[in-house]
Amino acid sequence: MTDTMQVQLVQTPAAEIWGQNALLSFSAQGATVHASEATGGASVAAQRAARRLDGMGVPAVSLSGDGWDMESRWAFWCGYYNPRRDNQLEWGSGDRAQLEELQAREQTLRWVREITNGSPEEVSPRVLAESAASMLHKLAPDQVRYQIIAGEELQQQGFAGIYQVGRGSEREPAMLQLDYNPRGDDSAPVDFCLVGKGITFDSGGYSIKPSDNMATMKSDMGGAAMVSGGLALAIARGLRKRVKLYLCCAENLVSGHAFKLGDIIRYKNGVTAEVLNTDAEGRLVLADGLIAASAEEPRWILDAATLTGAAKIAVGRDYNCVLSLEDDSARRILNAATREHEKTWRLPLEKFHLEQIPSGFADIANVGAPGSPGATTAAAFLVRFVRDQGRGWAHLDLSGSYQPSATDLWAQGAKGQGVRTIARFLQDN
């Protein structure tokens, strides 16, 4: 790598010439990141410094010296990534296992961030399904099998939610069903099912979004990207458990064939749902994936989705949210997030919340009653499609997965926050 800036990390303050509590200093040898309480500790300092070096247009960096540990190196990559430029990073010397882990994270998170940042014209429902399948198949060609169900075949097979949400677009909705079976035994029990929301563009449908809210809606497939990435990272780490993956992919557009307010969707499990808001479409497609997952009787079911603005209002964009009717299921997700240094917060979900999505014409409505908590009632809707009303299930509302504008830690766009949590959940349970 030519014209590479050497960057070291130290715990000592910069010389006064660089200013009080300076984060960065420079010399003929390169740049020095000064980690301290004032600069947020090693990982935060590394990520902020990476953003500043990217902002200066530094195209290539090599991490040097013995001040770097694995998490500070990883934080630097998270901040140095820029969707507009192909910044090059050398991890430097270190333990072989740590370097392999960093390379696995980079490969996985780069796919997650790039597919999420891709334009909605480039990333259609089928393209998303095919890209995820290809990425996972390349990782484990002998252990991964998959099929993509699309268009009218979705309706024929009873996947009514994905079909109804996606029928307003000229580009057909699609469902990826993927089986990671490391032992190659078709009779082996399924340990986990992962379900991801893959709305490749969300106009809101007839409940149309204002332009400011619609501008980032290419990212509404972040849940599908996240569960695919979580499985990929777990496979790279040597996962030997059987996992089935369901991506529920569609474009939510307005047309003469689009679904409408007042429509009633009848699902495979017999539950009927009245559409009172076409902008609450994520839960409608996830229901199909959860029904399919429940039929496999796995030990655990986890779904992930950029599901509600309410979750972002509750915790901001630094945390993802977890909801479950079971303390144990929620705790396992929180423990996984803690081990992987990703911020996750539990939001309330109780059985009485299932009564807060009433409909006068169907079993449930796809939005909560006036005054009800938005993120919670969205999760309550999902419960109706999980075996035994929520057994062994948790839901991740990915409030921290996308940055609509750049900050001192993240470039604009997808962050990939949640991939490591999902991978660790698969590994540890």
pLDDT digits (tens, 9 = 90+) for 241-268: 999 999 999 999 999 999 999 999 999 9
Structure confidence at residue 82 as a pLDDT band (50, 70, 90)? very high
- Does the pLDDT value for residue 2 go beyond 60? no
- Does the pLDDT value for residue 163 go beyond 60? yes
Q: Is 101 among the domain residues? A: no
Residues 130 and 47 in one domain: no
**With b meaning 16 or more CB within 10 Å and e meaning fewer, what string describes 113-124?**
bbbbbbebeebb
pLDDT at 243: 99
- Sign of the Cα pseudo-torsion (266, 272, 278, 283, in order): negative
pLDDT at 49: 97
- Bridge partner residues of 393 (DSSP): 301
**pLDDT more than 70, % of the chain:** 100
Residues serving a catalytic function are: 209, 283
Which residues lie closer than 8 Å to 318 by C-beta, 6 or more apart? 343, 400
CATH number at residue 225: 3.40.630.10
Residues 78 and 214 in one domain: no
pLDDT at 40: 78
Q: What is the pLDDT of residues 212-244, one digit of tens each?
A: 999 999 999 999 999 999 999 999 999 999 999
CA distances to 10, 117, 127, 198 from 121, rounded to whole Å, are 45, 11, 10, 14
Single residue among 94, 125, 157 that ends a domain in this structure: 94
- Does the pLDDT value for residue 38 go beyond 90? no
- Bridge partner residues of 178 (DSSP): 146, 245
Q: Print the domain residue range for 130.
A: 110-428
Q: Is 354 among the domain residues? A: yes
DSSP 8-state symbol, 91: -
Residues 207 and 329 in one domain: yes
- Does the pLDDT value for residue 196 go beyond 60? yes
C-alpha closest to that of 118 among 174, 201, 54 = 201
Number of H helices and E strands in the chain, helices first, is 13, 18
The letter for the amino acid at 173 is P
Residues 282 and 151 in one domain: yes
Q: Is 103 among the domain residues? A: no
Structure confidence at residue 37 as a pLDDT band (50, 70, 90)? confident
Residues 61 and 123 in one domain: no
C-alpha closest to that of 328 among 380, 378, 373, 391 = 391
pLDDT at 202: 98
Residues 77 and 123 in one domain: no
Q: Is 105 among the domain residues? A: no
Q: What value does the mean pLDDT take over residues 408-423?
A: 98
Residues 288 and 227 in one domain: yes
Q: What does the CA dihedral 295, 355, 314, 336 come to, rounded to 10 degrees?
A: -30
Other Cβ atoms closer than 10 A to 284: 28
Q: Is 183 among the domain residues? A: yes
pLDDT at 1: 46
Residues 332 and 262 in one domain: yes
Residues 172 and 264 in one domain: yes
Structure confidence at residue 48 as a pLDDT band (50, 70, 90)? very high
Q: Is 100 among the domain residues? A: no
The burial of 320, by beta-carbon neighbours within 10 Å (0-12 exposed, 13-18 middle, 19 or more buried), is given as: buried
Which residues lie closer than 8 Å to 109 by C-beta, 6 or more apart? 78, 81, 229, 416, 419
C-alpha closest to that of 345 among 380, 318, 383, 382 = 318
Pairing type for strands 272-274 and 364-365 reads: parallel
Q: Is 419 among the domain residues? A: yes
Residues 300 and 412 in one domain: yes
Q: Is 346 among the domain residues? A: yes
Q: How many domains does the structure of the chain reveal?
A: 2
Q: What is the pLDDT of residues 330-346, one digit of tens each?
A: 999 999 999 999 999 99
The percent helix, strand, coil of the chain (3-state, each to 5) is 40, 20, 40
Compute the mean pLDDT over every residue in the chain, rounded to the nearest whole number.
Answer: 97
**Lookup: tokens for 378:** 């969205």
- Does the pLDDT value for residue 47 go beyond 90? yes
Residues 72 and 186 in one domain: no
Residue where the block lists tokens 């990073």? 89
Residues 22 and 133 in one domain: no
Structure confidence at residue 43 as a pLDDT band (50, 70, 90)? very high
Single residue among 94, 127, 143 that ends a domain in this structure: 94
Do 219 and 132 meet the contact criterion of CB atoms below 8 Å apart? no
